[in-house]
């Protein structure tokens, strides 16, 4: 096996492991220690192998303290001004995500002009 294939295999194994860990944290989100630890491990693997964690999954936990987001329990979600604001109730970290829908509309408007 050449190094390129070996690298591909390694990345595949690593990304499968990340997916498993994310799923695991989702299943055990009520267990703070267990879910936080699996998120931390997933993030560590993603960094080591330079693999991106899917955006969908990224929105499910706090980047700063790795707490799995449970609405009204570990996170406060607010919408407004074209953004969704996630406030981590564990560490206070704020994450803002712009509405994709509006972005697309802006793009279309630009095209019309």
Site string for Zn ion, 56-75 (x = CB under 5 A): ------x-xx-x--------
Beta carbon of residue 84, minimum distance to Zn ion (angstroms, whole number): 16
Which residue from 25, 35, 36, 90 is in contact with Zn ion, where contact means CB under 5 A? 90
- Say which residues have a Cβ less than 8 Å from residue 60's Cβ, sequence separation at least 6: 22, 25, 26, 68, 69
Q: Are 86 and 48 in contact (CB under 8 A)?
A: no
Judge whether 91 is annotated as a binding position.
yes
Judge whether 62 is annotated as a binding position.
yes
Nearest-CA neighbor of 64 among 33, 83, 43?
A: 43
Beta carbon of residue 94, minimum distance to Zn ion (angstroms, whole number): 9
Rounded to whole angstroms, the Cα distance separating 105 from 61 reads 28
Q: Which residues bind Zn ion (CB under 5 A)?
A: 62, 64-65, 67, 88, 90-91, 93
Annotated binding site for Zn(2+): 62, 65, 88, 91
């Amino acid at each position: 096996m050449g190094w390129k294939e070996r690298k591909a295999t390694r990345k595949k194994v690593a990304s499968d492991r990340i997916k498993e860990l994310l799923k695991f944290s989702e299943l055990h989100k009520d267990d703070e220690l267990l879910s936080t630890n699996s998120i931390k491990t997933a993030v560590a693997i993603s960094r080591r192998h330079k693999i991106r964690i899917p955006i969908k999954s990224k929105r499910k936990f706090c980047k700063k303290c790795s707490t799995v987001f449970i609405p009204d329990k570990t996170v406060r979600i607010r919408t407004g001004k074209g953004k969704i604001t996630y406030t981590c109730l564990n560490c206070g970290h704020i994450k803002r995500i712009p509405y994709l829908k509006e972005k697309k509309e802006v793009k279309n408007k630009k095209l019309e002009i």
